[in-house]
Amino acid sequence: MSIKSAISLTLIGSVLLMMLLSGIDAGGIAIYWGQNGNEGTLAETCATGNYDFVNIAFLPTFGNGQTPMINLAGHCDPYTNGCTGLSSDIKSCQAKGIKVTLSLGGGAGSYYLTSSKDARQVATYLWNNFLGGQSASRPFGDAALDGIDFDIEGGTNQHWGDLARYLSRYSKNGKKVQFYNNPQCQYTEGDIKNLEDAWKQWTTDVNATLIFLGLPASPEAAGSGFIPVSDLTSQVLPAIKGSAKYGGVMLWSKYYDNQSGYSSAIKNDV
């Protein structure tokens, strides 16, 4: 499945997730944080010891000349510059060796790219305001994130590859890709074939260093696709961990993981 066709599927409810990260070790757990004020702080999330990557969600407004704006639910108010306090939490996570990224898109928002030039402008904004560049208006203060995650569930399927390429020019690191909650790929109880076939196709066709398996952290976290811990550890992980591109698993989200304890239950098997 090509990156372009995978992004096209996001328009009918599937999700393509792409990470631009510095070097990472295989077998880690990534978690989404930022969309529920009751999920704990970012620093608390990293202090659990369960996660190797945290995706801050989301930047849901950008592109087409719009002023980019983050939305972190009840955690902070970006309109009053109130999210700069996350700088210390981000640095705390990074001091523990945890990679922290910004997730673009999400299930709601106003984001789309109108041209390659638009993609280049967004890449420049992201570099200067969240990554290693310089800006007087960095939403998270002086902390420099480790990368960008693409959670493209809306807009169009145009120019996301351009954005990834422009971002990669700022870094020596390659692309890492995850897939999450794709009905045609997902596990169904007692039948691993769809997931295993999709995994083999993605690891063969997608030019990525590492590929992560995206999972809902509880049955309530997504409309479908939840894999019980026993099935994940006994069937799914043994079927995919042999791939040289296996990077680990990604969970949506910290709030649901708090309720289910999913990451703690699978950590030793990932």
The single-letter DSSP state of residue 132 is S
The answer to whether residue 220 is catalytic is no
Catalytic residue among 39, 44, 153, 189: 153
Q: State which H helix or E strand residue 52 sits in.
A: none
Q: Which pLDDT belongs to residue 156?
A: 86
Reading the block at residue 147, the tokens are 């990368």
The DSSP annotation for 64-114 comes to TTPPPB---TTS--GGGTTTTTHHHHHHHHHHTT-EEEEEEEESSSEE---
How confident is residue 184, by pLDDT bands cut at 50, 70 and 90? low
pTM of the predicted model as reported, rounded to 2 decimal places = 0.88
pLDDT tens for 35-92 read 999 999 999 999 999 999 999 999 999 999 999 999 999 999 999 999 999 999 999 9
- Whether 234 shows a pLDDT value over 80: the answer reads yes
- Whether 191 shows a pLDDT value over 90: the answer reads no
Mean pLDDT of the region 138-158? 92
Which domains are assigned to the chain? 28-181 (3.20.20.80), 184-255 (no CATH)
3-state secondary structure of 139: coil
Mean pLDDT of the region 151-170? 89
Q: Which pLDDT belongs to residue 11?
A: 22
pLDDT tens for 219-228 read 999 988 899 9
Reading the block at residue 197, the tokens are 């076939």
Mean pLDDT of the region 192-196? 88
